[in-house]
Amino acid sequence: MKELVRPGGVLAIVGFAMPSSPMDRALIASGFVYKTARELRGHYWEHDAPVRWPPPLSINQIRALVERELPGATFRRRMAHRYSIMWRAP
């Protein structure tokens, strides 16, 4: 994907990965609580995008891949098995 980004353009990725640490497990649990609370209040929307489950890589494996392929990218762990990547093309 990085070859498709123009100089100065931004590549944003949100994906799923398996946990690598206790922090990841805590974020999974907090995501479950958040989703359940939203469902109970009638404020949860379920996407229809395809999901490959279980995710083939762990958070640490994804982070290593990002460091190798997208130098300078920002990698963040998110709730519910998710991560986000932001990279600006040189």
pLDDT, tens digit (0-9, with 9 covering 90-100), for 54-66: 999 999 999 999 9
Reported as a pLDDT band with limits 50, 70 and 90, residue 47 is: confident
Average pLDDT over residues 13-23: 94
Q: Could you list the residue range(s) of the whole structural domain that residue 6 is in?
A: 2-88
Confirm if 46 and 35 have CB atoms less than 8 A apart: no
Give CA–CA dist 90/6, Å, rounded.
Answer: 9
Reported as a pLDDT band with limits 50, 70 and 90, residue 43 is: confident
Q: What percent of the chain has pLDDT over 90?
A: 77
Indicate the number of domains in the chain: 1
From the list 61, 58, 72, the residue with the least C-alpha distance to 2 is 72
Task: Specify the pLDDT at position 11.
Answer: 97
* Continuous H helices in 1-90: 22-40, 59-69
